[in-house]
Amino acid sequence: MSTNELPQIKIAVVGYGSQGRAHAMNLRESGFDVVVGLRAGGPTEVKAQADGFTVKSPAEAVKDADLVAVLTPDMVQKKLYNEVLAPNMKQGACLLFAHGLNVHFGMIEPRADLDVVLVAPKGPGALVRREYEIGRGVPCIYAVHQDKSGKAEQLALAYAAGLGGARANIIKTTFKEETETDLFGEQAVLCGGASALVQAGFETLVEAGYQPEIAYYEVLHELKLIVDLFYEGGITRMLEFISETAQYGDFVSGPRVIDASVKARMKDVLTDIQNGTFTRNWEAEYEAGLPNYRKFQQADMDHPIEKVGKELRAKMVWLQAQNA
């Protein structure tokens, strides 16, 4: 799908965080007419203006848009849709999300006249932008929830292509599949699982009398090397590049740590996601002012591995150069 097939489409990008900025800039450079919708005086208004975008209030931005991309945090989307988008979007427009949580779990019930689609790049906003700039792209998945016009899929594909997704890979999914697998991946493996595994490994070594600095290098710092190999060629490539001793340890000790009981608890996590328990709890936590969220966040930041890591990273000059 080429964006040239829809040259007149007007897009309103609502939200200008990591994904919002990347989407807006890539789409503009792909030939779309893009306006950014932000509340006046917000922290990202100046940034969007500095990037050369026309910035309007969300209500004004969506009025004549053919496609409205909702790229704000999940928990503000319900109020945003009900109070701003639904009353102001024109008849027959397309409503686009980058994550299906609000639609899949019924917190947002889109107007019947709208096309409703999902386009989710498989990478953070900085990567989506960087890959586009160098002539490549990040793979995208897309889904159609509501096809009033008969062209919803065409719109989703054109949007994905505008992000650079067609340069890599575009895969069709459903709102249900994207939402549930995304939440599971974050919780069981990528964020929750990985950070808990690293913390437990660090604690095990330190409690056994080893230096915290050595423990940090072994269970956190070197994790990047393994993840990079996974990313480049899966488990097969990782096995090709580690020693025979490391391979043997992988084979005999991996299943002792991540055993059938862990998989059973992963299934429990997935069940809570599928039946809406996680989303209901998260919505209630957000509405209560995030008391537990902040407590959990602070506990992670106060973990001893963070203090040790901060001191060690200060001596890693290559990291300072990357973050400059």
Instruction: Confirm or deny that 81 is annotated as ligand binding.
Output: no
DSSP 93-110: -EEEESS-HHHHTTS---
Instruction: Confirm or deny that 16 is annotated as ligand binding.
Output: yes
- Specify whether 303 is catalytic: no
Instruction: Confirm or deny that 222 is annotated as ligand binding.
Output: yes
Instruction: Confirm or deny that 243 is annotated as ligand binding.
Output: yes
Three-state secondary structure call for residue 170: strand
CB 254 within 8 A of CB 238: no
d(CA 137, CA 154): 19
Instruction: Confirm or deny that 218 is annotated as ligand binding.
Output: yes
Q: How many CB atoms lie within 10 A of CB 226?
A: 14
Instruction: Confirm or deny that 19 is annotated as ligand binding.
Output: yes
CB 120 within 8 A of CB 182: yes
* Catalytic entry in 23, 99, 104, 145: 99
Buried b / exposed e along 54-85 (16+ C-beta atoms within 10 A): ebbebeebbeebbbbbbbbebbebeebbeebb
Instruction: Confirm or deny that 51 is annotated as ligand binding.
Output: no
**94-97 β-sheet, strand order:** 55-56, 33-37, 10-14, 67-70, 94-97, 115-121, 140-146, 170-172
Instruction: Confirm or deny that 135 is annotated as ligand binding.
Output: no
Contacts by 101-107 with C-beta closer than 8 Å and gap 24+? 101/74, 101/179, 101/183, 101/279, 102/74, 102/77, 102/78, 103/145, 103/175, 104/175, 104/176, 104/179, 104/180, 105/179, 105/276, 105/279, 107/77, 107/78, 107/279, 107/283
Instruction: Confirm or deny that 60 is annotated as ligand binding.
Output: no
Beta pairing partners, 54: none
Instruction: Confirm or deny that 182 is annotated as ligand binding.
Output: yes
Which parts are annotated binding residues? 16-19, 39, 44, 125, 182, 186, 218, 222, 243
Residues involved in catalysis? 99
**Residues annotated within a binding site for NADP(+):** 16-19, 39, 44, 125
Residues annotated within the binding site for Mg(2+) are 182, 186, 218, 222
